[in-house]
Amino acid sequence: MRHLLNSTLVERQKAVDRFISSWIEAYSGRGGQIFCGKGCKNCCTLAVNCTFPEALLIAASLDDEQKSRVAAHAARTRSLIPEMTDLKSFLKLHRQEIGICPLLNGSGECGIYPIRPFSCRSLLATKESSWCAADFSLLSQAEKIEFMESIDREVVAFPMHYVAATQEYAQESESLTMSDMAETCGFSLYGNLPILLHLERTCLLSEVVLQGHDATVELLESQGVNSPLIVMIEESGPPPS
């Protein structure tokens, strides 16, 4: 299953990269600016979701130090699931208590950059990196208004400052990848990257997936992560974007 899914996945990653490069070139030609840079890492405080095939590709590349950090990150996430009553509470807990992506290296750079998920590839900031870590609940009304008025509404996924076109293109690639998995396995799996990595490493999730939907649900329940905020299973195709 890994070879079948990953060979197609790598080609989709290359296609996404080509689209993003072309989009940035065109945007820069119109005077626009993308503020993402090596080691800026503020977006890495966001929760990262990906398709299970993407997680499989990444899991196969991890070294021992990365595995250890992933395990610690997954443990923090699992311990806080009872407090995650909705998406808003989950995102707040993620930034305040779970912490930054465990796949960053000691220099604050992505340790899996060539095979990072579609969701990471497509997140392009049209404002300074500091805004990628901003807690908007702490901003004054005047600051919020100033932010809204400063972003380029023609290109962003309003009300955020991230480019819409690249995210939409990547979401299409996610959907195709999930459809491939559904055709192969009868269902698709999508969710929190560190959790999926940890489940693959400790429970061989890829082998359980081949046993079917019910066996996969049983494993998620036994590991305390059968929450739609953490892992989503769709029997008929990809999850909603």
Q: What is the pLDDT of residues 64-94, one digit of tens each?
A: 999 999 999 999 999 999 999 999 899 889 9
Q: What percent of the chain has pLDDT over 70?
A: 95
The rounded mean pLDDT for the chain is: 92
Q: What is the pLDDT of residues 206-217, one digit of tens each?
A: 999 999 999 999
Confidence of residue 193 (pLDDT cuts 50, 70, 90): very high
Q: Which residues contact 110 (CB under 8 A, 6 or more apart)?
A: 44, 101, 103, 104, 116, 120
pLDDT score at 236 = 64
User: Model pTM?
Assistant: 0.92
pLDDT score at 2 = 60
Q: What are phi and psi of 162, to 5 degrees?
A: -95, 145
239 belongs to a structural domain: no
Q: Answer yes or no: are the C-beta atoms of 100 and 41 closer than 8 Å.
A: yes
pLDDT score at 205 = 96
Write b or e for each residue in 102-118: b if 16 or more Cβ atoms lie within 10 A of its Cβ, otherwise e.
bbbeeeeebbbeebbbb
Confidence of residue 134 (pLDDT cuts 50, 70, 90): confident
241 belongs to a structural domain: no
pLDDT score at 104 = 95
Rounded-to-integer distance, Cα 231 and Cα 225, Å? 7
pLDDT score at 123 = 96
189 belongs to a structural domain: yes
Q: Which residues contact 20 (CB under 8 A, 6 or more apart)?
A: 121, 122, 124, 166, 169
Q: What H or E segment, with its residue span, contains residue 89?
A: helix 87-93
Number of domains present in the structure of the chain: 1
201 belongs to a structural domain: yes
123 belongs to a structural domain: yes
Query: What average pLDDT does range 206-231 have in this prediction?
Result: 95
Identify the three-state secondary structure at position 104: strand
Rounded-to-integer distance, Cα 197 and Cα 58, Å? 8
219 belongs to a structural domain: yes
Q: Which of 156, 117, 145 is nearest to 33 (CA)?
A: 156
Q: Which domain holds residue 18?
A: 2-23+32-234
